[in-house]
């Protein structure tokens, strides 16, 4: 009998998004219903235009929501993110999130 080679499930490489690069957005402070509040960690974040409606991802590169509002002080603003349905909100508390720019 010939030995058959097992085909192990190989992880597929993450898709490369053309023209988009992930940027650290900040840390999740609060999660309410379907909105989470993120404390921005960069002062340079204000220089990046067009953050509204940008896709927000967790550390595993999974889309978790979209930027809904930016408020608070200019140096370290707070960012409201509308969370997509089906996302486990309990896992997001005190985690770092990223945005595609």
Instruction: Say what the pLDDT of residue 21 is.
Output: 75
Instruction: Say what the pLDDT of residue 55 is.
Output: 92
pLDDT band at 39 (very low <50, low <70, confident <90, very high): very high
What domains sit in the chain, N to C, each tagged with a CATH number?
28-86 (2.40.10.230)
Instruction: Say what the pLDDT of residue 75 is.
Output: 78
Looking at residues 85-96, what average pLDDT do you find? 90
Residues 59 and 96: beta-carbon distance below 8 Å = yes
Q: pTM of the prediction?
A: 0.74
Rg of the chain (C-alpha set): 17
CA separation for the pair 42, 21 (Å, rounded)? 16
Looking at residues 51-71, what average pLDDT do you find? 91
């Amino acid at each position: 009998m010939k030995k058959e080679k097992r085909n192990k499930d190989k992880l597929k490489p993450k898709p490369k998004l053309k023209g988009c690069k992930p940027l650290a957005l900040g840390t999740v402070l609060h999660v309410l219903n379907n909105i989470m509040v993120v404390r921005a960690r960069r002062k340079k974040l204000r220089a990046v235009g067009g953050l509204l409606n940008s896709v927000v991802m967790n550390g595993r590169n999974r889309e978790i929501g979209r930027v809904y509002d930016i408020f608070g002080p200019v140096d370290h603003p707070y960012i409201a993110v509308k969370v997509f349905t089906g996302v486990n909100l309990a896992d997001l508390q005190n985690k770092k999130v990223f945005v595609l720019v």
